[in-house]
Amino acid sequence: MSNYNYDYDDTPQPKAKSNMDIWDMMSILVLLITGCVGVFFLLIFLFPDSGFNPYPPGALNASPTPTITPIQLEATWTSTVPPFMTDTPTLLPTLTLEPSVTPLSLVTPSVTPTATKAPKRPFSATVTYIDSTIIHPDLACNWQGVGGTVVDANNADITGVVIRLVGMYNGKSKSEPTVTGVAPAYGKSGYEFFLGTVPILSKGELYVQILDQAGLPLSDNITIDTFNDCSKNLVLVRFKKNP
């Protein structure tokens, strides 16, 4: 029994006073900073276009404006060309050719050279004298004129060709052009010249000819006569291209 302490004091002891050290202060500071940063990002998320957002939505999509730098041209370079010296050529002595030997023949040649014929015109013509009532049945004998056609080597009509009538008729000069195709009564390439209302007689005072677009002849001068005969008051001149 002597091993026990009977002087036990059950009076409550005061608690130890808690002291805030530096680590507690740093923890509180970190929590405050974290809260502020969280509030800042929350405000940017809710109000992205506000002034305190350093990267508003439109700024990310804006492309930089290119700046054009003018190209500076180099200064004009002027070359200085020295004057050319003109050399005076020295003429070589002229070479005198020896005279060529001309063969002399004492025998008279027996063959006489034949002159080359000039090529004929592209078109030739046939002339006939018929009754004009075949073309103008209503005029009877009160008409006289020239008409015809122009065909190629295959007898195909050629339209648009110039025909000219030149000469004297009834004491008056004539120089009249026309084109084929204007008088279809003679054919597709028909043409016609009116001379007068009374058939008269003339010998070789008129001629007709084909001309190209430049006025150059495509046929010889085809001389025609006229008759004071009602059965021959139409001069029919048909041109055909030579094969």
Domain ranges of the chain: 22-57, 123-241
217: DSSP letter: B
In whole angstroms, what is the distance from residue 78 CA to residue 87 CA? Answer: 27
CA distance 33 to 30: 5
Tokens coding 209: 């000819």
pLDDT of residue 1: 47
- CATH H superfamily, domain 123-241: Immunoglobulins (2.60.40.10)
Give pLDDT, residue 108: 55
CB 110 within 8 A of CB 199: no
Low-confidence ranges of the chain (pLDDT < 70): 1-20, 51-52, 58-119
Distance, in Å, from the CA atom of 223 to the CA atom of 10, rounded to the nearest integer, reads 173
What is the pLDDT at residue 24? Answer: 83
CA dist 232 and 199 (Å) reads 9
Instruction: Supply the pLDDT for residue 76.
Output: 60
Measure the CA–CA gap between 106 and 156, rounded to whole angstroms. 58
Which residues make Cβ contacts (< 8 Å) with residue 136, sequence separation at least 6? 143
Structure confidence at residue 101 (pLDDT): 60
Give 155's DSSP letter.
S
Contact by Cβ (8 Å): 236, 129: yes
